Structure formats: structure tokens, C-alpha cells
Amino acid sequence: MKKDLISLADLSLADIEKILALAAKLKRRNQPKLLRDKALGLIFKKSSTRTRVSFEVAIRQLGGYSTFLRTEDVQIGRGESIADTAKVLSRYLNGIVIRTFDHNEIVEFAKNASIPVINGLTDLSHPCQVLCDLFTILERKKRLQGLKVAYIGDGSNNMAHSWIYAAIKAGIELTIATPKKYPPSAAVQKAVRAFTSQKGRFTVTVDPQAAALGADVLYTDVWVSMGQEKERDEKIRAFRPYQVNAQLVALAKRDCMVMHCLPAHRGEEITADVIDGKHSVVFDQAENRLHVQKAILALLMG
């Protein structure tokens, strides 16, 4: 694997399989000596529940410890350059997780850091979440190759982008159902088509019913991502036909999995009866953030 985890675009299928295999091993039996006395920093510009807690617990269970750095509390929030901050923190820490808005910030940080840099979420990409999603699907379905995943909702957000990379690498048939105004990034689509080895494929449609038909997995996310609050009314109107509800689930396979990376807005992108229903694996999915992130930390910081 490379030094950093910035995007799934940077991982090979072998890298992904290595992470998932180690996650399975660590879920069965924790190994607290793997990162004994290693220090993990967390710089978060965006609020967080799952990412922060799962990384803090993960490093502790592996024998290390974490320090949480709000941007308001460090000099980067007062004008110190990203490059200088990266160089300094590399002298104190063994790895760092960054959760921010602008993807270029984490790219710049990684260029100047001598320690592993992990993307805890940017507006463009959320690789740790989708690795966890692949792990959760593999636990239930025992395979990834050939599965049909329907992503229903905002095709322009970080989850859709990371799912495109995952599908192409893992041999998944991904269909993204989204309004015409919210397609995946043109840069992401171009990058994927340039891959020399494409095991899976993805398509984009405006028809959520067509995407859900015969799907092994139905996936959704919030319609209004962090930082888009001014667009809320417009997006709610646009995405109303894209709700994951009982009618949509009925179109998928009888043993389909319903997934959501959380937080969920019941009654908007997903109904309460579906997220709490028999097809939902949402809370198993949330738990698996811990195990997959232990594997990521162990492989990058070990």
C-alpha cells in the first residue's frame, strides 16, 4: 500500500482485499500490541460522530493513543500554512486523520507530511466509509464480484464518488440514481474510465425504480451534505422521488441489504420502517467502521 489513504482511486484491488482481510481478523480477535505507544492525530474541520469515535477507539484498542485537534485550536486556523503544519506534526505523531471540506487541503497535507495521512472525509471523497461498506457486504454476501448495488440519491456527493471507485475495483455493478442536476463529478468519471483494469462498471440514471430493480444492495445518504445548508429547500424538492421506502425495497432482491452511512434523516432520504426493518444493516455497518479503521491504521502505521 501507499503511505497515505486519500482516495480509493489510489488503492489496488489487492490493497482493498488486504484491508478487508485484516479487518475480519481484528474483528474476531483484537491485537492491542500492533500499534503500542503510537500516536494518532485527528484534525477535524467538520463535525463527526462515527469517524471521530471509531478512530479514537481503534487506535486505543491497538495499543496507541490519539490527540484531537480542532482547527480552531491549532495555528492552521490562524493562518499557518498546511505545509508547515504537516511538517511539524510529522515530528510529533505517527499518523494523522483529516476531516475537512476541500479535498485539495488533504492532498497538500499528505505531500508535506512524512507520516501516513488518512482521509476522514472531504467534500469529494470518503474512502474509509466505503471500505467499511465493502466489508459489511462481504460479511453478508460472501462476495463482492458481480453484485448489483443501487445508490439512490445525490450523485454529486463524496459517497457516490467513493462508491464509483470501489465498484470499478471490486467488480461490482453500480447504478447511481440521481436527478440530472446532481451527476457525479466529471473529473471522477474521467479518472475511472482511464483505469487500465476495470473489473466492475457504473451507470447513472434518473430513474430510482430502474436502479433498484433486482439490486443486491440499496444504498442511500443524506440529501443535504455538510456545508450545503443554503441549498436545503431546493435539494429536498429535487430528491423527494428518490426516497428509499418500502415500495423501492420491494423492487430489489428478496434478500437485499439496505445501507446508509449515517446520520440518517428519517422521512427524507429513507423511511423509518426501512432503516429499522429486516433488510437494514445500517448499525452493523456503523460498527464495522471500528474494525476496518483498525485495519487501516495497522497497515499504514505499523
Active site residues per annotation: 99, 126, 129, 221, 261, 289
Helical packing angle, 13-28 and 127-141, nearest 10°: 70
Q: How far apart, in whole angstroms, are the C-alpha atoms of residue 49 and residue 259?
A: 17
Strands 217-220 and 257-260: parallel
Grid cell locating 205: 440514471
Do residues 230 and 241 touch, judged by C-beta distance below 8 A? no
**Helix H or strand E segment including 165:** helix 158-170
User: What is the length of the chain?
Assistant: 302
The closest alpha carbon to 181, from 231, 230, 218, belongs to 231
**Helix H or strand E segment including 174:** strand 173-177
**Helix H or strand E segment including 234:** helix 232-239
What is the per-residue burial (b if ≥16 Cβ within 10 Å, else e) of 245-256?
eeebbebbbeeb
Grid cell locating 249: 425495497
